[in-house]
Amino acid sequence: MAAADNTAGRHERLTHLDERGEVRMVDVGGKPGTRRRAVASALVTMRPETLGMIVEGRAPKGDVFATARIAGIMASKRTSELVPMCHPIALTHASVELEPVPTDSTGHATVRITATCETTGPTGVEMEALTAASVAGLTLYDMCKAVDRGMVLGEVMLLEKDGGASGRWTREEDE
């Protein structure tokens, strides 16, 4: 019985579910357009030799960072085609930064990806930023998989969002 009660409680809070628990696209038509911004990140962990190859421009498929940056930006603009309940959003800004992080104590190197998306509209851009970071990481993997199939794409997360009724949110260190 408790499970049913928990499910009903969740449906009241989840905006993509109607009163019967069925998936729906949220109606944002009556919401005012406000400035919205979201920043997301992802990490790609790899062998130090792989990061060296990328940074030195020796990757067989070309400029890995430039290609991943373009892929992330393009993906942010197509998020509503990939995530079923996302609204198509006219982005006013999208950027993807890739930062090489030298070898850590485990002997791995990392690329930190940071994606920022902005718009002025009735709904946020969190999904666009998360999509940009994810696709940039997938592209990095694709371009380097011939030399390092053991790479790991992970820790995809929202770092901050601003705008709308809920205002500003920033990830705390311990989250």
Residues marked as catalytic: 142
Query: Is the separation of the CB atoms in 40 and 156 below 8 Å?
Result: yes
Q: How many CB atoms lie within 10 A of CB 53?
A: 18
Extract the tokens encoding 41: 């990140």
Cα torsion 98, 103, 105, 110 to 10°: value is 30
* Paired strand residues for 165: none
SS3 140: helix
Give Cβ neighbours of residue 173 (< 8 Å, ≥ 6 apart). Answer: none
Extract the tokens encoding 158: 């929202």
SS3 93: strand
Strand (E) or helix (H) holding 70 = helix 64-76
